[in-house]
Amino acid sequence: MSKVEKNKLDEIINLYGQGKKREALRRALIQKKVYPRNSDLLNALGIIFRSLNKLELAIRHYDEAIKFNKINPSFFNNRGNALRDLRKLKEAKSDFKTAIRLKPTSSKYWSNLAKCYNDCDETSKALLCAKKALQCNEDNLEALNSLALASDELGHHREALKSYNRALAIAPNHSTILSNYGRFLFKIERLDEAIDALKRAIHFSPSLVEAHYNLCEVHEKMGNLDLLAAAITYGMEQTSNNVALKLKKAFLQFREKKYSKCIQTLEPYLSDKLSQERKLVLYNLLGKSADKLKDFERAFFYFQKANNYAERIMVKKNLSANRYVKTVEKNKFAFLKATKEKTVNLFSSHENRNLAFLVGFPRSGTTLLDTILRTHSSIKVIEEKPIVAKLISRARSLSGESNIFELSDTKLDMLAQEYLADLKKIAENVEKSKVIIDKFPLNLIYVPFIRKIFPNSKFIIVIRHPCDAVLSCFMQNFAPNDAMANFVSLKQAATLYNAVMSCWLTYSTHIDIDYFQLKYEDLILNFEDNTTELLQFLGLNWEEELKDFNETAMKRPMINTPSYNQVTEKLYSDSCGRWKNYERQFAKQLAILEPWVQHFLYES
């Protein structure tokens, strides 16, 4: 590069650094005519175009720069960033890998690859790349942020917390990290700290959309509707009415039963280039609003659109509906094998008389019953914590290739003690409660093994009309996992219902389970009698405070299920028989569900 070329390029870079992007672009385009093969100039044009959000033009100029210089790693890194902006993640990963191959000691390049892997939900790879970046530079904030995000996604909460704390020790005012940190704190139920972190993020970057969105999410899930309204108003002012905040405005309108207004707020954004996650939220809200307005054809159309996006997210995260159905069937098979061979005693001798498990198919009323029961002075409810899943995983590791029912009494006792220790970590003073209820609906598939470890435990199974339960699952926006992947279509949901209830029928037929079966509809229509009968099963008496269970729900800091906005209301029967509004869409699923309708003595 000649001295003249270098001086001209330095002028352009200085103008860009001063924020004079348009003037820098004008001069760079003039110089391109004079020096069309100057790769540094072409790279500079790529940087300027990217900063102006002209991503295709940016990539075109990076392409030209690379054509004339194939060994400069920064050119590949810069093109990777523009490709990532366009969500062309496969191509972006390739460019970051090339940049790393050319300069493997660059913390920045490793960090960018980590971000790309996080975008692709290749979380384990993101974790490794973030660690590589930090080996090159332990103070790389973006790498620390990527490491925290990946650790959180993998359930390594202690490591995530450590990474966030390290990042904020270096840059306490970093708004993006504060926003992510606030969302993480909310996830681990450190609610006041979450709100504080998000408010700090907004203070330092008032136009940061994600921080406003995350703060609204916290207020929404905590049921603080007045604070949610204020956060939405302020967020929309600061972000020029960003569509993400419009989603929160629509949610508030839905909660206020302004269903037509909710639809009016959302429909202008049907063609917007929102993320799949936010398209899912948008169509789910439209579906629920149309359902409330009794426009059922329109509602079903919107629910299908929402679930199309849900399915894409599940695929992206490598989740599998069939894998979970096979898990259900595998548990039933293992149980039947153990009972048929009769090589083991299905019951151990561990004593725990105050432990009960609340199970059922999702959306059958378990959260409502949870809220009612936790109102009782002698009951402690543990809401949807995966401690039984952890127990099963530990049992499988102890049994190796053998059936978990073949574990020795010593190992079973060890598992029981580990479970009880986890209970104490999750809930304060849990050992002082007269009755402890572990509520996790799909723990139903593990009932025989739970029964084996805790033979004196009780089980409460909540039943709802099979068609209503399946429809409600189809209408919900669940956190993605293998089990919830079954709810993207009525057929898959009905198939899972059949598998889960077949498990329950097999278990209850072959072993003497101490259980109480409660129909959701009976609870709604005859609350006091059915609740009293259930309490007697648990060895407890009726308390008048139970009538005001919805006040208990409103006082709770947070409810961790999709029912959080319903159990704060008084009992209503609108959801009983809702499936008949969609009877035409259910036609093909009735063959699967009708035997269960009859088994549980419902009307077709």
Q: What is the 3-state secondary structure (H, E, C) of 185-243?
A: HHHCCCHHHHHHHHHHHHHHCCCCHHHHHHHHHHHHHCCCHHHHHHHHHHHHHHCCCCH
List, for the chain, all residue ranges whose pLDDT scores fall below the cut of 50: 343-344, 564, 567
pTM as predicted: 0.88
Residue 322 Cα to chain centre, angstroms: 19
Nearest CA among 558, 575, 447 for reference residue 500: 447
Q: Which token pair is 447?
A: 């009932």
- Find all residues with CB under 8 Å of 337, minimum gap 6, and list them: 403
Q: Looking at residue 37, what is its pLDDT? A: 92
- Find all residues with CB under 8 Å of 291, minimum gap 6, and list them: 299, 475, 581
Q: Which token pair is 577?
A: 């028989």
Q: Looking at residue 603, what is its pLDDT? A: 84
Q: Which residues of 417-445 are buried (b: 16+ CB within 10 A; e: fewer)?
A: eebbebbeeebeeeeebebbbbbbbbbbb
Q: Looking at residue 426, what is its pLDDT? A: 84
What's the angle, vertex CA 237, arms to CA 233 and CA 238, rounded to 5?
120
Q: pLDDT by residue (tens digit) across 19-76?
A: 999 999 999 999 999 889 999 999 999 999 999 999 999 999 999 999 999 999 999 9
What's the angle, vertex CA 76, arms to CA 72 and CA 81, rounded to 5?
140
Q: Looking at residue 139, what is its pLDDT? A: 97
Q: pLDDT by residue (tens digit) across 351-405?
A: 666 899 999 999 999 999 999 999 999 999 999 999 999 999 999 888 876 678 8
| Total residue count of the chain as it appears in this document | 604
Q: Looking at residue 344, what is its pLDDT? A: 44
Pairing relationship of beta strands 515-519 and 379-383 according to DSSP bridges: unpaired
What H or E segment, with its residue span, contains residue 461? strand 458-463
Q: Which token pair is 99?
A: 């940049």
